[in-house]
Amino acid sequence: MTDWRYAQPGAAGGDGAPTRPQAYHAGVATFMRRPMGDLKALRPGMTAVFGIPYDYTSGSRPGARWGPRGIRQSSAYFDYFLRSSPDASYVDIETGREVRFPETLPIVDLGDVEIFPTDLARTSASIAAFTGAITATGAFPLILGGDHYVSYPCVEGFLQGLAATRPGARVGYVHLDNHLDMFDANPVWGPVYHGSTVRRVSELPGLDPADMLLVGQTGLAGRETWDYLRTRGMTLVTLGEVRRRGMDAALDEALTRLCRRVDVLYVSIDIDVVACAYAPGTGGVVLDGLEARQLFEAVSVFARHPVAALDLVEVAPNYDPAETTIRLAAQALFQFLVERDAAAGAR
């Protein structure tokens, strides 16, 4: 019989990844404890995670600068979880379907993009250049925000990177958010902050506003904003519609229709699309939002469509005392990666 007092898990393997599970509060918290990578080593098919610790364009409570670190910290749980099944295999309790997450799945963490806290123009250029460089390698940018402003330079960079690798590819933009983020020039914050991202994205060359899909919104919109949304031909799937029809049906139908027009999708997820009962750790206070489960359903739908880049923004761990929000974000990303791998295997 093994002497349990000395039956300790093994140390890290030669490539830096632990060969046996570690307690998830142990070790260095890269995303899902995957190896650190660098831009020059990226290849098509890889997923390149990076953070944008920037919240100087938040119009609500600050704190999303801590988002990348918080999500990484919570994501270590899923590395522990995956390595804790003896044969690295799980079964979905609801479907009976086998779920595998190969150790070899090529995910690397590039760390955080360089930001310049008091220089928005320089920060934006840095974000766009980094996102573009990743995209141009054929890798998949998985982006941890940051307040929602950062999605704008990310999309800009993504479009430029894609033009280099897939010239002529048509891009659809999907915005999962409790809010429209479509102010033109807010009287307090001006034209460039986290409440104008969709508007600024809609003006980017290389993206047709009619190829934009907004999901999960409720509440009031300014008349000017509403008219802009309608006259530009954007698609809106409201929170009410998601509740009535279910996320799976409502989102799948909207994405299927959008994908008849476009080749690839850029998905942006504001964690405040989920009600603050589940996700208090964010700048805005959202009482009427998705349930946690509906976010998981949404990422499963995304995994079945040609998503080529994804960001998850507005996670502010400083309002997250029970760590539910960082877990929600980490689990949504984990589930997206698992489901996407399964969908690729099925094709």
* Residues binding Mn ion (CB under 5 A): 148, 177, 181, 270
The dihedral built from the CA positions of residue 176, 180, 182 and 188, taken in this order, carries a sign that is negative
What is residue 272's three-state secondary structure?
Answer: helix
Q: Exposed, middle or buried: residue 299 (CB in 10 Å: 0-12, 13-18, 19+)?
A: buried
Nearer to Mn ion, 273 or 301 (CB): 273
Q: Cβ of residue 198: shortest distance to Mn ion, in angstroms?
A: 8
Q: Exposed, middle or buried: residue 66 (CB in 10 Å: 0-12, 13-18, 19+)?
A: buried
Structure tokens belonging to residue 148: 């929602």
Rg (CA), the chain: 20
Nearer to Mn ion, 49 or 273 (CB): 273
CA–CA distance, 205 with 199 (Å, rounded to integer): 13
88 touches 99 (CB < 8 A) = no
Q: Cβ of residue 196: shortest distance to Mn ion, in angstroms?
A: 10
Nearer to Mn ion, 181 or 211 (CB): 181
Nearer to Mn ion, 139 or 207 (CB): 207
Q: Cβ of residue 240: shortest distance to Mn ion, in angstroms?
A: 19
What is residue 200's three-state secondary structure?
Answer: helix
Nearer to Mn ion, 114 or 184 (CB): 184
Q: Cβ of residue 189: shortest distance to Mn ion, in angstroms?
A: 13
Q: Cβ of residue 112: shortest distance to Mn ion, in angstroms?
A: 20
DSSP E strands: which ranges in the chain?
47-52, 89-91, 98-100, 107-112, 140-145, 171-176, 212-215, 235-237, 264-270, 307-313
Nearer to Mn ion, 65 or 83 (CB): 65
Regarding beta strands 98-100 and 89-91, do their DSSP bridges make them parallel or antiparallel, or are they unpaired?
antiparallel
CA–CA distance, 198 with 195 (Å, rounded to integer): 8
Q: Exposed, middle or buried: residue 210 (CB in 10 Å: 0-12, 13-18, 19+)?
A: middle
Nearer to Mn ion, 177 or 241 (CB): 177
At residue 260, what are phi and psi to the nearest 5 degrees? Answer: -75, -20
Q: Cβ of residue 42: shortest distance to Mn ion, in angstroms?
A: 28
Q: Cβ of residue 315: shortest distance to Mn ion, in angstroms?
A: 12
Q: Cβ of residue 34: shortest distance to Mn ion, in angstroms?
A: 27
Nearer to Mn ion, 18 or 216 (CB): 216
